[in-house]
Structure 1
Amino acid sequence: MSKTIDWTSCTVKDVIERHFCGPSPDCEERQIFAPEEWGVLKTTAITWSGWNERAHKVLPKELWGQSKIEVNAGDVLVTKAGPRTRVGVVCHVPSTRSQLVVSGKMIGLRPISGVVNASFLAGLLARQEQQKYIHDRTTGMAESQVNFANEVLLDTPLRIPPIQEQDVIAKVLDTLDTAIRETESIIDKLKVVKQGLLQDLLTRGVDANGELRPPQNEAPQLYKQSPLGWIPRAWDVEQLGQILAESTRSGLYKPSSFHGRGPFMVQMGGLFTGEAVDFSSATQIQVSPSELGIFGLNIGDLLFARRSLVFEGAGLCVIVRHLPGPSTFESSIIRARVRETVALPEFVCQFLRGKASSAQRRTLIRQVAVSGVSSDDIRQLFIAIPSLSEQELIVARQHSAQEQINLEQSTVSKLRKQKSGLMNDLLTGRIRVMPLLETTAP
């Protein structure tokens, strides 16, 4: 006999009071701050990490007061238009400020009390089976802009247990969600601390005892003026081109007939996920031995985005920290190799990602259809050069701060896997919570 014989087959429309969509007008790019203002949600308010009420814009005054599309605590929200990866995202609204409405790129669901638990419903809609149902009925001319009709979501099939069992399942999943959110909050704080530490390390450095030097206004005798502003007296300033082991090089273009085999080729997307090159988006491209020799990558290489759709992305520096195998890089990327007798690649990468270097890089970016920089621009960037021993100390302090972040990110990853496994078991009835209900019954 099936473990879920007491579960009911239904659709989304059977378990909700109503659904609602809103407008997508031109709005001021700010949050609401006056008590009479109303806001419209951005799709980024709905994430797999949960609900974010801060992701909204103030509505034009003529659209205020639309209470029928206002989001309430206990609603379930689903994105329905945008890039493929951002469509079908589901979240439960545990609490919210008032006067926020849904936009035309999302659907609000108001569950029927006593029939379906809102958190349980959000969990069901996030399952692979329901997500496949929705995405199989999503349309669009390109993956960057797809959508589905309201009826697709409303007709999505479900199987639900009795409400008491739903409530227990929701409590289990909510406990994990809380742990995930709290850990993510810790990560956000650690990232802020790391950024502050890096700013100090890259402008004040560390003394022979491994301690931060006092700031310039407290110990002016320890500093001197430079093209980068105040720097420690013991530091030098060079342009990047003066500390390179070889000339900068733009990447390789190969037609589609060479794709699908051969060494990995780093794509532009691999430069925008963190400090290090991300090979998850790399493709395999057949190259000749001489091309691999010329365009190959080594650990410690610095890569720069030659062009970017986003202004801040042009000229952004990342470092190669590992290689999955022989690898090259595509034509929109610039490679630089520093002389390690003068500067550590890790230090140079951190400096070029810092505030002072980012400010000078922005002055070099050309804006046309896309934002871009040239190899000459990259070579002109000024770098502060402490001694190698001080660079090592600075890199070590940075790594220590990053390790704390990595540890918390590993915890989040484990919690997400745990939640995913529990969702698959509990939301399908593979594991029942009835014994727990029986032991907690009065």
Structure 2
Amino acid sequence: MSDTVPEGWKSHKLNTITNVIDSAHQTPSFSESGYPMVRIGDIKGGKLTLENTALVSKEVFKAFTKKYAPTHNDLLMTRVGSYGRCSIVKAKQAFCLGQNTVVINPISIDPDYLYHFLQTRNINEQIEDTVGGSSQKSLSLSAIMNLKVLTPDKCEQKKIAAILTSADDVIDKTQAQINKLKDLKTGMMQELLTKGIGHTEFKDSPVGIIPKEWEVFTSQELLKKGILEKLQDGNHGSQYPRAQEFLKEGVPYIAASHISELGEINFKVCPHLSQQSADQMRIRPAIGGDVILTHNATIGRTAIIPQEKSEVIASTSTTYYRTDPNKLLNKYLFYYFQSTAFVSQLQSVMGQTTRNQVPITAQRELDIILPTFKEQIAISNVIESITDRIKAISAKHKQLIKTKKALMQDLLTGKVRVNVDS
């Protein structure tokens, strides 16, 4: 953290330009109706939303706002667990704060400027230097009060805040587009993967009503018919690689954490094994075109291994499915694994055990809806078109966030000065 103060700027301790007010140190009782109570999990950055907060009675609300009632343009910060997260209050609705949070009430600083400054690398480094605790780290009230904030004059503060808030608005609108497309995709998948395209006759099946021409088989039945060529989970026990065996290059070793929500495998961050280590594995690696399904801890993530990957080692948390490419399209299976019909089966299996997993023995008994091969292609193409739109807008969203971070670094350090006259 640099101690350099830009020309014309000042450095302040947070408690000299704001009131920093701790939340009540008591456990509340919740109600089915009443006033919103904002807890640590509700403070996620950006504008505070009260949509999904817990509710408390009028009596509890009064007790938790006795010292101070948060108001418009206040900032909220978390102190324990996910410490240092900050949101700004733009809602006019009355609410109270739960434990391990603080209110920052701006006095002689622009609220929006302060909100953005509290997101900077500068503040993050100050926080990391002061957090305490071994098992669960916490940020003390004193440490928050002593955070150093750099400020230009009020006019420049407002101009910087306006630029960064405008960037946030674009990011939020882009995220809203993504959310709408995801909702559209979910509805479209439910329709296509249970009703198909252009069918008029339907029948009952183990997974509900489906087109008359379609069939339903368990994974084990598909294996016996040769429609699935392989269904295999990762190496267990003594075959599990030791930490010192992992390399930066070699044969990729993928776990659930390397698979995105959109079904992309991040080969840049996954560990690798040497070819020699891979060859010694009892369970042979997956290959290009295989469909991956995560079955332990993180359940239901799915991806297709790119065709150019000759070998990929599946971790103990993943299973790979290899299809006969002339009978079961891997892309169809990939989308089917994301359907309500399949996900509900995974949830049913998990509901029968205290462990958050769907072992391979249970996977063999899961039902898979099988349309004609021609319709598998048609369904996959429709879903893929909307998936590609989501990926494109998600990439734009990621770039907007990157651009905003660069803007923050320039504007909130004084590296780039804004023209307050324009």
Task: Look up the equivalent residue of 2:235 and give its one-letter code.
Answer: G
CA distance in 2, matches of 1:285, 1:147: 38
Equivalent residue in structure 2 for 1:104, among 83, 94, 99: 99
Question: Counterpart of 1:319?
Answer: 303
Question: Counterpart of 1:141?
Answer: 134
Question: Counterpart of 2:83?
Answer: 87
Residues 292 and 328 in structure 1, CA contact (< 8 A), matched pair in contact too: no
Q: What TM-score do the two structures reach when normalised by structure 2?
A: 0.87
Residues 42 and 55 in structure 1, CA contact (< 8 A), matched pair in contact too: no
Q: CA deviation at 1:110?
A: 0.4
Identify the range of structure 1 (66-75 vs 323-332) with the bigger mean alpha-carbon deviation: 323-332
CA distance in 2, matches of 1:271, 1:406: 14
Residue 265 (1) aligns with residue 250 (2): no
CA distance in 1, matches of 2:331, 2:68: 51
CA distance in 1, matches of 2:156, 2:372: 64
Distance 1:229 1:367, change over 3 A: closer
Residues 207 and 367 in structure 2, CA contact (< 8 A), matched pair in contact too: yes
Q: What TM-score do the two structures reach when normalised by structure 1?
A: 0.83
Residues 40 and 101 in structure 1, CA contact (< 8 A), matched pair in contact too: yes
CA RMSD of aligned residues (A): 2.6
Q: CA deviation at 1:259?
A: 3.2
CA distance in 2, matches of 1:304, 1:192: 22
Identify the range of structure 1 (196-205 vs 16-25) with the bigger mean alpha-carbon deviation: 16-25
Residues 53 and 96 in structure 1, CA contact (< 8 A), matched pair in contact too: no
Residues 49 and 181 in structure 1, CA contact (< 8 A), matched pair in contact too: no
Question: Counterpart of 2:216?
Answer: 237
Question: Counterpart of 2:20?
Answer: 18
Task: Look up the equivalent residue of 2:35 and give its one-letter code.
Answer: W
Task: Look up the equivalent residue of 2:40 and give its one-letter code.
Answer: T
2:156 is paired with a residue whose SS is helix
Residue 227 (1) aligns with residue 206 (2): yes
CA distance in 2, matches of 1:55, 1:44: 10
Distance 1:388 1:397, change over 3 A: same
Question: Counterpart of 2:146?
Answer: 155
CA distance in 2, matches of 1:27, 1:61: 11
Distance 1:325 1:71, change over 3 A: farther
Distance 1:49 1:329, change over 3 A: farther
CA distance in 2, matches of 1:400, 1:274: 13
CA distance in 1, matches of 2:267, 2:99: 36
Q: CA deviation at 1:304?
A: 3.0
Q: CA deviation at 1:69?
A: 4.1
CA distance in 1, matches of 2:44, 2:92: 15
Structure 1, gaps ≥5 residues long: 208-212, 214-218
Residue 168 (1) aligns with residue 167 (2): no
Q: CA deviation at 1:58?
A: 1.3
Identify the range of structure 1 (87-96 vs 170-179) with the bigger mean alpha-carbon deviation: 87-96
Task: Look up the equivalent residue of 1:438 and give its one-letter code.
Answer: D
CA distance in 2, matches of 1:168, 1:43: 30
Question: Counterpart of 1:432?
Answer: 417
Distance 1:279 1:392, change over 3 A: same
Residue 399 (1) aligns with residue 380 (2): no
Residues 39 and 99 in structure 2, CA contact (< 8 A), matched pair in contact too: no
Question: Counterpart of 1:248?
Answer: 232
CA distance in 2, matches of 1:101, 1:279: 44
Question: Counterpart of 2:76?
Answer: 77
Structure 2, gaps ≥5 residues long: none
CA distance in 2, matches of 1:352, 1:25: 42
Question: Counterpart of 2:404?
Answer: 419
Equivalent residue in structure 1 for 2:292, among 293, 299, 303: 303
Task: Look up the equivalent residue of 1:56 and give its one-letter code.
Answer: T
Q: What per-residue deviation string (whole Å, max 9, x for no partner) do you get for residues 89-146 of structure 1?
A: 2222223421x2222232210010xx2111111111111121011012223334xx32
Distance 1:263 1:132, change over 3 A: farther
Report how many residues are paired: 406
Q: What per-residue deviation string (whole Å, max 9, x for no partner) do you get for residues 37-65 of structure 1?
A: 22221323222444222242113564222
Equivalent residue in structure 1 for 2:195, among 173, 195, 204: 204
CA distance in 2, matches of 1:327, 1:156: 47
Task: Look up the equivalent residue of 2:392 and give its one-letter code.
Answer: L
1:319 is paired with a residue whose SS is strand
Residues 27 and 57 in structure 1, CA contact (< 8 A), matched pair in contact too: no
2:216 is paired with a residue whose SS is strand
Q: What per-residue deviation string (whole Å, max 9, x for no partner) do you get for residues 417-438 of structure 1?
A: 22112111111111112xx322
Question: Counterpart of 1:210?
Answer: none
Q: What per-residue deviation string (whole Å, max 9, x for no partner) do you get for residues 178-208 of structure 1?
A: 111122112111111111111011011124x
